[in-house]
Homo-oligomer: A and B are copies of this chain.
Amino acid sequence: METPARTESTGSAELPFDVFARDCPSRETLEHVTGRWGSLTVGALYDGARRFNELRRRVDGVSEKMLSQTLHALERDGIVHREAQPTNPPRVDYELTPLGREIAERLLSLIHFVEGSMNPVLAARQSYDATRGGR
């Protein structure tokens, strides 16, 4: 595994990869992971391996195309492992890699916090809308 080099200050010039820079590849990977379907897919896989249609049911609202596309991007980034069994009917399992698991932990921390913060958020929205009216 890699060394947990402690870098918590933003704007640090020490890291070779800076997500705030427009051309940094880390921005792409971050979007794969935080994107509309990426975050939910990674989150759904944290429980364990799942099959395609199983995943599709869990990530409510995702289309076949988008799930397939999302899984490919995540597989390419080494976040998801795809294991196909040449049986009939075919069975394919998707599961997080060790890297993916670490990402999922941090993602779920965020997701759960957001879920638990929705009452304040909804209150803030009402307050905002009341103040601004329609504009």
Residues of A that sit less than 8 Å from B by CB: 2, 4-11, 15-22, 25-26, 29-31, 33-36, 39-40, 43-44, 46-47, 58-61, 75-79, 99, 102-103, 106-125, 127-129
A39 touching B44 in the complex, CB below 8 Å, given contacts A17-B118, A118-B29, A123-B78: no
User: Contacts A61-B22, A109-B106 given: A4-B76 contact, CB under 8 Å?
Assistant: no
Q: Within the oligomer, what is the number of copies of this chain?
A: 2
Q: Complex Cα distance A123/B122, Å?
A: 42
Overall SS of chain A's interface: helix
Query: Contact between B78 and A124 (Cβ–Cβ < 8 Å)?
Result: yes
Given contacts A8-B117, A34-B39, list 19 more A-B pairs with CB under 8 A: A2-B117, A5-B116, A7-B116, A9-B116, A10-B47, A19-B43, A20-B44, A20-B60, A21-B60, A25-B118, A29-B117, A29-B121, A34-B35, A75-B128, A77-B121, A102-B117, A103-B117, A106-B109, A109-B109
